[in-house]
Structure 1
């Protein structure tokens, strides 16, 4: 029998994950870690931006967003249903992903104050740099918000108990894409030296945020890298030939390598730090190369939007909406569909080293 071409192996591995994901039970409600704390941008936001004021704030709390969410309601997720964070939480045994911080900040929640339910700090439009985005919550502010939560947990259950529960909890980070977009908007034809200098500074700042969380008690870091953002419907709509924008994809690859190397270095120098880098980049590349094998029919056009590739504007109530949403890679001009997020979460949680390294999220969660 002929050998399987090496280039097809990622798709076969991903197909195996699809089969396993379909057979996997839903979240039982008893998480495999005490809590999940989420930091990032619109890839992870579950509604924080709903609570921010200003017309420039990116939001998704209106139709057609949420059309496939339970009760078909928009929640602030940039998706037709769940996002990747939701599916990762389900894989970890939770019934649902943690609530947005701004929804619970002024409420007394005994489980949150005991460190038994996590919080989601992610804000659409945010970045690693404070200057990325307007009127949103940058990563530095998200870390400050967690410091408030950590202080309240320590006050309620003692510092020692707080250290124990936080060291076993998962700190999930999904960010960086907006910083790369912002750089590209300022300089669409950067030199190799300019790209390297920007990425090095960005990764250094990312490291500082990880170190700050470590000081606050974090030990398990689940990092999601940046997908090939140059192939999203919006960049494609800006290309005269409708092709991917190579500079954006180069930036994503450079940033991903920098973060992977940085996390490895931190694990060697910071006692007890454990990590996994889940590759949304590898998942999306596999889908784009072998869409039909993985159940997709359209990997270039957004399901919801307008203009070329439905990428000229976001998913609004007046936008064009596709019927076969499960066959689309992209939901809107920049974000994946419910189906894509489900597949990505399964690959990152249960998959091979191609999709998560040096261990997958399941191994990280179960490592005591």
Structure 2
């Protein structure tokens, strides 16, 4: 994250050497994932997994909840913003629009709170990754009808496909499972491989994969320890998953020459924020900003929950999700950072290929 100090210089260097135009700004961003990236899809589902109520959105434009599990902008918003694009709207909000074919070309967010790689994760409460990909397939057909197959392929090959998925699967993995963590992660990656290859077959060429964070360090996990320490076992599974996902992308790259990718190690980046918190402006890295009870993590964020007065000095918004301030730093790392946080390309480098 020391690379963040060079962020302004890097940005202007990119702009001066590459120019402004279609070769710099990707056509669109298509987002797949869970509550870390949901911008309102779950608002349109019959589910208990919603965030369309206060105190969510307290720092968002207008000060109203939008369905984002955050006090303000989330990872999907910042990713689009830093690429010079508008944050793509939720699929379920635009699918029924009369001009949805054109809207699909501008980028779409399919992410759904609670979603996982596996269909069994929060089944019936969200759009699983497979369902999100099915919806994208439907959108692709509409794009082809709008501009033709050749132009649709060109459009998708110039667009960014971002994935923020896996946390809910890991949270659902029981500690007393007969399967070992390695076996469990292996089953996740086998499923993810099929999903990413399906996306490639439809037309995705530029993949951004945001790895899972150190899940044992979120307030929901810390509260289980009297000392408030991170849960080492959850962190270990997250690390296994990130390593396997990065290897999968590398294997796909070797198989498909026209595919490129950027992998962001969220675990490494977020641990740096925790361990060097004061340099990033965070004075509270354990407790949630919104909630009740021990570490504000005994009860989820609701309209009657306690709310911290300064969201910028809190790392976590609620039991599981980062604050807007934390999300902004993490995505800056993904877009502009260097190895070992992000590799083999950062998102900015990927976008200009």
Interval of TM-score (by shorter of Structure 1 and Structure 2): over 0.9
Q: How many residues align?
A: 347
TM-score by length of structure 2 reads: 0.93
Paired residue for 1:347? 333
Per the TM alignment, residue 116 of structure 1 is displaced from its structure 2 partner at its CA by 3.5
TM-score by length of structure 1 reads: 0.89
Aligned counterparts of 1:172 and 1:117: Cα–Cα separation in 2: 15
Aligned counterparts of 2:69 and 2:78: Cα–Cα separation in 1: 14
Per the TM alignment, residue 109 of structure 1 is displaced from its structure 2 partner at its CA by 2.9
- Contact 2:253/2:260 (CA < 8 Å) preserved in 1? yes
Residue from 77, 88, 91 that aligns with 2:79: 88
Q: Return 5+ residue gaps in structure 2 as ranges.
A: none
Residue from 158, 177, 182 that aligns with 2:167: 177
- 1:222 has 2:196 as partner: no
- Contact 2:51/2:67 (CA < 8 Å) preserved in 1? yes
CA-to-aligned-CA distance 1:81-103 (integer Å, 9 cap, x gap): 00011011110001x31000000
- Contact 2:290/2:305 (CA < 8 Å) preserved in 1? yes
Give the stretch that moved more between structures: 28-37 or 120-129: 28-37
Aligned counterparts of 1:19 and 1:217: Cα–Cα separation in 2: 34
Aligned counterparts of 2:99 and 2:297: Cα–Cα separation in 1: 40
Paired residue for 1:194? 180
Aligned counterparts of 2:99 and 2:41: Cα–Cα separation in 1: 17
Residue from 31, 36, 40 that aligns with 2:33: 40
List, as ranges, runs of 4+ consecutive aligned residues in structure 1 with deviation greater than 6 Å.
18-21, 28-31
Per the TM alignment, residue 211 of structure 1 is displaced from its structure 2 partner at its CA by 0.3
- 1:276 has 2:267 as partner: no
- Contact 1:82/1:338 (CA < 8 Å) preserved in 2? yes
Aligned counterparts of 1:213 and 1:124: Cα–Cα separation in 2: 21
Paired residue for 2:129? 139
Q: 1:20 to 1:168 in 2, by over 3 A?
A: closer
Q: Return 5+ residue gaps in structure 1 as ranges.
A: 1-9
- Contact 2:70/2:317 (CA < 8 Å) preserved in 1? yes
Paired residue for 2:313? 327
Aligned counterparts of 1:88 and 1:239: Cα–Cα separation in 2: 34
Per the TM alignment, residue 266 of structure 1 is displaced from its structure 2 partner at its CA by 0.3
Q: 1:164 to 1:81 in 2, by over 3 A?
A: same
Q: 1:304 to 1:114 in 2, by over 3 A?
A: closer
Paired residue for 1:70? 61
Q: 1:18 to 1:182 in 2, by over 3 A?
A: farther
